């Protein structure tokens, strides 16, 4: 999870040059950020594009980043904002479908994406954008309300409200499917 | 594996998202693609300083990013930074530094919109030119008004108090306050600015940035009525507006600071001119006061407007905590009761025995607001 790696030791080496930092961050955070993006946008290619763009921007602004330890949080915010921007351009706010990764079509993959899980993901995808972002950051990234508020640029109260509404809507949607 | 309780929504959400993301792996050539992308960006990079300021408008998801350039010659590219979260020296809308405190989000009145204007804060800590938002309230709720108001606020620069707090603008102080006019037509926003602003290096970036606003297909800049940029964003004639390097979507990385006033459904109310006879002044005043309070879910203001015999039943018995509690619960559950209230207030008025009822007369059992002729608010009801 992103939250757990954000304060871990690998970042102690980020005071190095930006090429070394890029590699360090790629090794430590790329996969988690790709997974976060995959919960926010509607296809894998777009998710990968979002994360690549976030890393590219970080690289080009690296020399101006006074505190390298902030890089993981910077990347997370960039992924959130880029995902939102790309969705906006595609006008697909409320029509996200979670497409299982290729190997999920294998028997083993099908097992992990059971019908129940797919129902949950479909209900999550149908939520308003902000509610979806808050629930993903809260229940997948395990971020605190304060961390989510900072990542999204909203107040902690707003996070609480969106989380509450999102969970209620999710619960209602899942009950309707029973 | 222990089955998850079907009623445990949070547990099911964690389980499903973890199971799904466990299937997501980077492309085999992800690192090579990233290196290629980074190197391509480096080739495109130009050696010039860009001072940037970004405006994010807040209500109804209307967001506009406008960037003005300050010019300079130290050879560094100043790249705006999206909100950072947990670095001790970083600044974001959610974690203001003591030096550049962005202040509290204002509560816009009906007919106005809270927007954020981003100014430099040299002492905020993330880099030597980070951007920190401050709040402004601009007149209007339509995209054109929001765009114009937000850009005007940016051009006006930080207030003296904000300057004391460390805020600065990329726009030269001598042209602060220059007039900005905006029109929005068929997806194109046109800005006409005073000639003084023509000296700003570089207007074309504003043009480019504004194109990313979802509601705008194109941006046209004119200076004293003379177009300074052609539709492609290239500079026209005498104006100094050369196109700098600007990575795609750079501005959009800053739009994480959208306002939170969407939390109150009343902010999304669509109001229109009332048809029919204008009610007495006391009734009209109460109507506007209720609408103002509903727009921002100002519960105390609503409570103060209620008559002692206020009725709030909607065809069933509400909970015992009273109208305010009932509405708070409704809003929290996603029911836009404040929007309904505000929109009901802009409907027809009928009078009966000193009570003025606002609502749709074609739906006699629909939502109605009743205000007594002395201005006391006596009901917001639905049903019989």
Question: How many residues appear in chain A?
Answer: 178
For residue A153, which residues of chain B lie inside 8 Å, CB to CB? 83, 92-94, 256-258
For residue A114, which residues of chain B lie inside 8 Å, CB to CB? 19
State the 10-residue block means of pLDDT for chain A, 178 residues long.
31 67 92 94 82 84 71 83 61 39 43 80 84 91 86 75 88 83
Q: Strand B306-311's sheet: what is its strand order?
A: B306-311, B377-381, B368-372, B355-359, B348-352
> In this complex, do B24 and A101 lie within 8 Å of one another by their Cβ atoms?
yes
For residue A174, which residues of chain B lie inside 8 Å, CB to CB? 6, 9, 12
Residue B249 has pLDDT above 90, yes or no: no
> In this complex, do B82 and A168 lie within 8 Å of one another by their Cβ atoms?
no
Sequence-distant (≥ 6) Cβ neighbours of residue A128 within 8 angstroms? A93, A94, A166
pLDDT tens-place string over residues B101-149: 766 666 666 667 777 777 777 655 444 445 677 777 777 766 667 777 7
B122 touches chain A (CB under 8 A): no
Selecting from B88, B93, B128 the residue whose C-beta is nearest the C-beta of A153 gives B93
Window 228-257 of B, Cβ < 8 Å to A? 247-250, 252-257
pLDDT for res B247: 28
pLDDT for res B377: 92
> In this complex, do B258 and A153 lie within 8 Å of one another by their Cβ atoms?
yes
pLDDT for res A81: 72
Cα–Cα distance for residue pair B301/B294, rounded to 1 Å: 9
pLDDT for res A31: 96
B304 touches chain A (CB under 8 A): no
Cα–Cα distance for residue pair A151/B60, rounded to 1 Å: 20
How many interchain CB pairs under 8 A, A with B?
238
Average pLDDT, chain B: 64
For residue A34, which residues of chain B lie inside 8 Å, CB to CB? 24-26, 30
**Which 8-state DSSP code applies to residue B255?**
G
For residue A170, which residues of chain B lie inside 8 Å, CB to CB? 9, 13
B25 touches chain A (CB under 8 A): yes
Looking at the predicted complex, does its ipTM rise above 0.90? no
Selecting from A53, A56, A66 the residue whose C-beta is nearest the C-beta of B127 gives A66
pLDDT for res A120: 92
- B182 pLDDT band, cuts 50/70/90, is confident
Do residues B83 and A153 make contact, with C-beta atoms less than 8 angstroms apart? yes
- Min Cα distance B22 → chain A (Å) is 8
pLDDT for res B138: 76
pLDDT for res A58: 81
Selecting from A66, A82, A120 the residue whose C-beta is nearest the C-beta of B249 gives A82
Q: B26-30, B47-51, B239-243: which range is least confident on average?
A: B47-51
For residues B338 and A33, the model is more confident at: A33
Q: Strand B55-57's sheet: what is its strand order?
A: B55-57, B112-120, B131-139
pLDDT for res B89: 24
- Min Cα distance B229 → chain A (Å) is 24
Residue B212 has pLDDT above 50, yes or no: no
Radius of gyration from C-alpha coordinates of chain A: 17
pTM over 0.90: no
Strand duo B226-227 + B112-120: pairing: unpaired
For residue A152, which residues of chain B lie inside 8 Å, CB to CB? 83, 94, 256
Residue B215 has pLDDT above 90, yes or no: no
> In this complex, do A124 and B13 lie within 8 Å of one another by their Cβ atoms?
yes
Angle between helices A156-177 and B9-21 (to 10 degrees): 90
B346 touches chain A (CB under 8 A): no
- B63 pLDDT band, cuts 50/70/90, is very low
3-state per-residue secondary structure call for A83-148: HHHHHHHHCCCCCCCCCCCHHHHCHHHHHHCCHHHHHHHHHHHCCCHHHHHHHHHHHHCCCCHHHH
For residue B77, which residues of chain A lie inside 8 Å, CB to CB? 60-61
pLDDT for res B174: 61
> In this complex, do A85 and B18 lie within 8 Å of one another by their Cβ atoms?
no
Do residues A31 and B9 make contact, with C-beta atoms less than 8 angstroms apart? no
Q: What is the largest CA-CA distance in chain A?
A: 55
Closest Cα in chain A to B42? A60
Cα–Cα distance for residue pair A81/A160, rounded to 1 Å: 20
For residue A135, which residues of chain B lie inside 8 Å, CB to CB? 13
Residue B321 has pLDDT above 60, yes or no: no
pLDDT for res A36: 94
């Amino acid at each position: 999870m992103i939250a757990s790696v954000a304060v871990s030791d690998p970042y102690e080496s980020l005071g190095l040059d930006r090429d070394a930092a890029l590699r360090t961050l790629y090794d430590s955070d790329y996969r988690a950020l790709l997974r976060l993006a995959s919960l926010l946008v509607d296809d894998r290619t777009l998710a990968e594009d979002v994360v690549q763009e976030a890393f590219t921007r970080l690289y080009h602004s690296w020399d101006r980043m006074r505190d390298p330890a902030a890089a993981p949080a910077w990347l997370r915010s960039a992924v959130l904002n880029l995902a939102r921007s790309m969705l906006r351009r595609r006008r697909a706010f409320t029509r996200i479908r979670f497409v299982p990764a290729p190997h999920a079509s294998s028997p083993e993959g099908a097992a992990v994406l059971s019908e129940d899980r797919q129902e949950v993901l479909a209900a999550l995808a149908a939520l308003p954008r902000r509610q979806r972002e808050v629930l993903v950051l809260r229940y997948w990234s395990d971020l605190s309300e304060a961390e989510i508020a900072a990542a999204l640029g909203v107040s902690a109260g707003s996070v609480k409200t969106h989380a509450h509404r999102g969970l209620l809507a999710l619960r209602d949607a899942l009950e309707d499917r029973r | 594996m222990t089955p998850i309780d079907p009623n445990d929504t949070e547990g099911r959400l964690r389980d499903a998202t973890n199971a799904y993301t466990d299937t997501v792996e980077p492309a085999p050539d992800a690192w090579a693609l990233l290196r290629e992308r980074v190197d391509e960006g480096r080739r495109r990079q130009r050696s010039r300083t860009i001072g940037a300021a970004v405006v994010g408008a807040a209500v109804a998801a209307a967001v506009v990013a406008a960037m003005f350039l300050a010019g300079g010659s130290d050879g560094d590219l100043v790249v705006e930074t999206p909100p950072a979260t947990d670095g001790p020296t970083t600044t974001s809308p959610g974690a203001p530094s003591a030096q550049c405190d962005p202040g509290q989000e204002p509560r816009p009145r009906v007919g106005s919109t809270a927007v954020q204007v981003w100014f430099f804060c040299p002492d905020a800590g993330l880099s030597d030119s980070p951007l920190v938002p401050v709040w402004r309230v601009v007149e209007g709720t339509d995209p054109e008004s929001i765009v114009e108001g937000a850009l005007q606020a940016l051009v006006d620069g930080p207030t003296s108090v904000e300057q004391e707090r460390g805020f600065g603008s990329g726009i030269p102080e001598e042209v602060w306050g220059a007039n900005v006019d905006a029109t929005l037509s068929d997806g194109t926003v046109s800005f006409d600015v005073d000639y003084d602003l023509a000296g700003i290096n570089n207007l074309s970036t504003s043009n480019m940035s504004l194109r990313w606003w979802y509601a705008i297909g194109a941006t046209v800049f004119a200076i004293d009525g003379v177009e300074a940029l052609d539709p492609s964003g290239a500079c026209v004639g005498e104006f100094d507006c050369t196109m700098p390097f600007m990575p795609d979507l750079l501005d959009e990385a800053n739009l994480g600071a959208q306002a939170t006033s969407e939390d109150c459904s009343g902010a999304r109310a669509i109001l229109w001119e009332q048809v029919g006879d204008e009610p007495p002044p006391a009734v009209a005043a109460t109507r506007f006061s209720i609408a103002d309070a509903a727009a921002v879910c100002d519960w105390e203001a609503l409570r103060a407007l209620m008559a002692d015999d206020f009725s709030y039943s909607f065809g069933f018995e509400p909970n015992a905590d009273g109208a305010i509690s009932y509405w708070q619960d409704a809003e929290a559950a996603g029911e836009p009761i404040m929007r309904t209230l505000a929109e009901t207030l802009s409907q027809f008025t009928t009078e009966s025995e000193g009570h003025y009822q606002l609502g749709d007369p074609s739906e006699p059992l629909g939502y109605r607001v009743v205000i007594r002729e002395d201005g006391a608010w006596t009901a917001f009801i639905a049903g019989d």
